């Protein structure tokens, strides 16, 4: 008798494991208190309004919401607004990101797919037919879990709303996924004017070139040269006209841009204008690039090939991606020994990728084709940064010299470029600033190398 009962128990256990468990879909989110992301929160306060915000990592979001929202291209931003004033303020999520997701939309995107589970069960059923009996369990458990998910996202998420006087408004905004430097802009509209709060977060996920650089060790102290704004224009004439190959034996893209500012101020300024950092060139990033190219998609953090200045490849690479991976603006920057008002001076090269072409000059036999009118890309930068009020001063200095349509310059892969020969010089601002020009005469010289 005992052995018969043990056999029945064993048989039931086998049936549960083989028929029910494979089809079960469960949803287990964690509470706010169980996810320790507030240690990275930033707070700003002005005129009786206090704003606290934080960007969750992929792991934190998965734990808090019970599903991998990052895999769906969604990023959770914690927001708390404390209004101690006597007037209400309108909070609109599109000011934070015009492509935000509502809580219901984010949940629906992350729903468990019963169709996918049926396919998985069908594959297993080829080997073990009784697994098909788990199909009803899959259907009903997925529906139940998706309802729980809807409720959880709704409870934790925020909608456009009014922050009433003497009240607190808090929850999560669901934005498109950003890696690298992310700007969180909170704009509150009131009868007496708008209150705007800007935050910047370093979001893990990509391996950017600049994170490997030890900038303080690039130049010995005796090579650091402080110069005034007036002296900078002539100092830039001593800078090489173009990038080179690794050996320094061939000329590449023109060094047509100069940026003055601390590293974080530069990254923040470009993040405000929706530029992306780039990943270091490696197997993983190359695979993502190839995949995006083959399927005609974008890859916001696609690496750029190395160009050289002062004996090393670019210290920072940034890009303004478009719909396809072969269309983007890309910028390379090198840390220099020059300083203006104690701020570093960065030497840069910028151009616009307009396609991909075959070449024998690269290991993978392909390269981006650039728009020959490189001045358009150079001038785009000043317009873009000025639109988000991140430029203090701008001006022009001598550069590569004139290249015409009849006599163009050539980069390392043979693409022609046409330019008026000048460098754009931009001083970025930590805060929003009005645009003013350097007190310089427009240069009437051309730099020959």
444 within some domain: no
The model's pLDDT over 220-239, given as tens digits with 9 standing for 90+, comes to 999 999 999 999 999 999 99
Q: Which helix (H) or strand (E) covers residue 153, if one does?
A: helix 135-156
Claim to verify: residue 392 and residue 332 sit in the same structural domain? yes
Residue 420: band (very low, low, confident or very high) from pLDDT cuts 50, 70, 90: very high
Q: Taking residues 131-143, report their average pLDDT.
A: 65
Phi, psi of 274 (to 5 degrees): 70, 35
The pLDDT value given to residue 6: 57
By residue range, what is the domain housing residue 122?
1-29+111-155
CA 102/CA 110 separation, integer angstroms: 12
pLDDT of residue 403 exceeding 60, the answer is: yes
Output the domain CATH number for residue 178.
2.60.40
The model's pLDDT over 49-97, given as tens digits with 9 standing for 90+, comes to 999 999 999 999 999 999 999 999 999 999 999 999 999 999 988 889 9
pLDDT of residue 29 exceeding 50, the answer is: yes
Higher pLDDT, 405 or 123: 405
What is the signed CA dihedral for 78, 274, 177, 316, rounded to 10 degrees? Answer: -110
Claim to verify: residue 149 and residue 228 sit in the same structural domain? no
Q: Find the range with the poorest average confidence among 149-158, 249-258, 277-286.
A: 277-286
Q: Which long-range contacts (CB under 8 A, 24 or more apart) does 193-198 make?
A: 195/46, 195/47, 195/49, 195/89, 197/44, 197/46, 197/49, 197/51, 198/272, 198/432
The pLDDT value given to residue 125: 46
The pLDDT value given to residue 72: 95
188 within some domain: yes
445 within some domain: no
pLDDT of residue 122 exceeding 80, the answer is: no
Claim to verify: residue 307 and residue 172 sit in the same structural domain? no
442 within some domain: no
Claim to verify: residue 92 and residue 217 sit in the same structural domain? no
71 within some domain: yes
Claim to verify: residue 73 and residue 146 sit in the same structural domain? no
303 within some domain: yes
Higher pLDDT, 291 or 259: 259
Claim to verify: residue 94 and residue 115 sit in the same structural domain? no
Domain count, the chain: 3
pLDDT of residue 405 exceeding 70, the answer is: yes
Claim to verify: residue 230 and residue 300 sit in the same structural domain? yes
pLDDT of residue 119 exceeding 80, the answer is: no
Average pLDDT, the chain: 86
The pLDDT value given to residue 11: 44
The pLDDT value given to residue 143: 87
- For β-strands 180-190 and 193-203, DSSP reports them as antiparallel
Percent of the chain exceeding pLDDT 70 equals 83
Claim to verify: residue 163 and residue 247 sit in the same structural domain? no
Higher pLDDT, 367 or 328: 328
pLDDT of residue 123 exceeding 50, the answer is: no
Which alpha helices (DSSP H) does 254-369 contain, by range? Answer: 263-272, 283-294
The pLDDT value given to residue 360: 54
Written as six digits, the tokens of 415 are 């693409």
């Amino acid at each position: 008798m005992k052995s018969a009962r043990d056999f029945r128990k064993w048989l039931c256990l086998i049936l549960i494991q083989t028929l029910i468990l494979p089809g079960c879909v469960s949803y287990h989110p964690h509470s706010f208190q169980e996810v320790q992301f507030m240690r990275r929160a930033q707070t700003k306060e002005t005129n009786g309004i206090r704003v606290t915000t934080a960007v969750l990592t992929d792991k934190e979001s998965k734990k808090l919401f019970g599903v991998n929202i990052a895999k769906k291209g969604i990023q959770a931003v914690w927001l708390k607004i404390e209004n101690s004033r006597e007037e209400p303020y309108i909070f609109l999520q599109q000011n934070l990101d015009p492509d935000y997701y509502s809580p219901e939309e984010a949940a629906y995107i992350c729903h468990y797919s019963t169709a996918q589970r049926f396919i998985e069960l069908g594959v297993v059923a080829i080997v073990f037919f009784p697994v098909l009996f788990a199909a009803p369990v899959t259907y009903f458990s997925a529906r139940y879990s998706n309802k729980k998910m809807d409720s959880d996202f709704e409870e934790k998420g925020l909608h456009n709303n009014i922050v009433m006087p003497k009240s607190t408004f808090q929850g999560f905004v669901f934005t498109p996924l950003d890696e690298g430097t992310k700007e969180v802009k909170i704009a509150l509209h009131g009868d007496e004017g708008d209150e705007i709060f800007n935050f910047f977060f370093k979001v893990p996920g990509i391996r950017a070139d600049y994170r490997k650089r030890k900038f303080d060790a690039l130049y010995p102290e005796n090579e650091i040269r402080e110069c005034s704004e007036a002296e900078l224009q002539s100092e830039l004439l001593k800078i090489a006209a173009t990038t080179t190959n690794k050996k320094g034996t061939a000329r590449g893209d023109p060094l047509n841009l100069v940026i003055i500012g601390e590293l974080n101020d530069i990254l923040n300024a470009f993040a405000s204008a929706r530029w992306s950092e780039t990943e270091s060139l490696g197997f993983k990033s190359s695979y993502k690039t190839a995949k995006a190219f083959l399927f005609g998609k974008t890859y916001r953090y696609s690496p750029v090939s190395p160009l050289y200045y002062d004996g090393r490849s670019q210290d920072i690479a940034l890009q303004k991606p478009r719909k396809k991976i072969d269309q983007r603006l890309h910028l390379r920057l090198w840390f220099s020994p020059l300083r203006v008002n104690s701020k570093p001076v960065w030497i840069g090269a910028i151009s616009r990728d307009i396609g991909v072409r075959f070449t024998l000059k690269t290991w993978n036999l392909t390269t981006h084709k650039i728009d020959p009118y490189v001045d358009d890309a150079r001038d785009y930068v000043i317009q873009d940064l000025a639109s988000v009020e991140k430029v203090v001063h701008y001006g022009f200095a001598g550069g590569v010299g004139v290249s015409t349509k009849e006599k163009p310059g050539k980069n390392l892969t043979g693409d022609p470029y046409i330019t008026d020969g000048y460098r754009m010089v931009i001083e970025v601002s930590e805060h929003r600033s009005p645009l003013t020009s350097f007190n310089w005469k427009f240069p009437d010289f051309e730099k020959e190398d």
